[in-house]
A = this chain, B = another copy of it.
Amino acid sequence: MKAAKDKIRVVLVGGSGYAGYEALRWLARHPSAEVVGVFGPENELGPMDRFYPLLSGQCVLSQERFSEQAVAALKADLAMLCVPHKVAMSYVPTLRKLGLRVIDWSADYRLTDAAEYEKWYCPHTDPAGLAEAVYGLPEYFAKQIAKADLVANPGCYPTCAVLPLAPLIQAGLILPDEIVVNAISGVTGAGRAPSPKQHFPERNENFEPYGVGNHRHMPEMEQVLTTITGKETTLLFQPHLCPMDRGMLCTIFARPTSDDVTQLHLLNVLQAAYSNMPFVRVRNDVLPATKYVANTNYCDVAVRLAKGRVVLFSALDNLLKGASTQAIQNMNLMFNLPETTGLY
């Protein structure tokens, strides 16, 4: 094991949300990184085990008030930002000025076009950062991530949708403009703040669609797929909330580009695409299910051809491959560690 002083020194900004919490837990067991400070909003300061009693005795960190001086004093190598969009870009320039590399988990650096960002979110206040940011999907941008100072950690739905789609669009097997992504998420995806919709008696035994045609992850999916495949991709994304803690599953309907496309062909392309990727499992034994990937960094994908349509399934843990462990996978790449270090 490396000496503690050699470990990557990580600062978490926004430790009290579910994704920050998972980052803290996984980094606590990472052999080559350690969290040296946690910063958060005024109304959520204090020992981490007060927010998460599970951490008692395991984590002595407190969430502190963010300040340039406080961060500087920690001599950290990396900042992980687990804060909402708009808040994130208010911190990033400061963190980079202090010499930290940054992985941002918000949407602030995912859409490369500032005008598109403004359309879906708000005006962008760090266009310079936006121009330099690398999209942190390790399966497609590993080389750029390795050198990046600013990585935009992908959204959970885009990760889940892009992984099965990209190889098939790229291989010319499915039409890039005839895609429907139907998705479900566990309730941790809605965040830690209580709300009427996620109050236990309202959500339990209640499956519900939301965000028809206007979910912000839709343009992210389109942009990333277009970038990866070089083919202008447009799709319809329809999310739902499912009464369970965690897990995400996409059921994707696409059109084959010709009648000659077979299921075997589709499967082969997926298998070839991911044969060397440790965290994407192309399944032919079972259909993906959320329980098969829960508490792991895996994304499972499968493909079927049915009634003239390509049907893709993909599943991941929305808090892990959809957020926290994907960020750690990016960190591993950024610091020249084996991609799988501390992950499973």
Contact = CB atoms under 8 A, between A and B. Distances in A.
Interface of A: 1, 18, 28-29, 49-50, 53-54, 56-58, 180, 182, 184, 186-188, 192-196, 198-210, 212-214, 234-236, 238, 240, 242-247, 249, 251, 253, 278, 281, 283, 285-296, 298, 300, 304-309, 311, 313, 344
Contacts of A206: 244, 247, 289-291
A219 B271 CA distance: 32
30 contacts: A53-B285, A53-B289, A54-B291, A57-B281, A180-B253, A182-B251, A186-B201, A194-B194, A194-B195, A194-B196, A195-B199, A198-B200, A200-B203, A202-B291, A204-B244, A205-B245, A206-B289, A207-B247, A207-B249, A208-B289, A209-B287, A209-B289, A209-B313, A210-B287, A212-B287, A213-B304, A213-B311, A236-B311, A238-B253, A238-B306
Contacts of A306: 212-214, 236, 238
Contacts of A291: 54, 202, 205-206, 208
Contact of A50 (B244, B253, B285, B295): B285
Contacts of A244: 204-207, 243
Nearest to A57: B281
A193 to B, nearest CB: 8
Contacts of A29: 344
A286 B54 CA distance: 10
Nearest to A236: B307
Contact of A56 (B204, B212, B243, B285): B285
Contacts of A236: 253, 306-309, 311
Contacts of A180: 180, 253, 309
Contacts of A285: 49-50, 53, 56
Contacts of A294: 54, 205
Contacts of A290: 205-208
A201 to B, nearest CB: 5
Contact of A249 (B57, B209, B212, B214): B209
A281 B49 CA distance: 13
A3 B190 CA distance: 44
Nearest to A47: B285
Given A53-B285, A54-B294, A204-B244, 12 more contacts: A50-B285, A53-B289, A184-B242, A194-B198, A205-B247, A205-B290, A208-B289, A212-B304, A213-B311, A236-B309, A238-B311, A253-B253
Contacts of A295: 295
Nearest to A187: B200
A192 B201 contact: yes
A304 B211 CA distance: 11
A307 B187 contact: no
B184 A204 contact: no
A262 to B, nearest CB: 14
Contacts of A202: 291
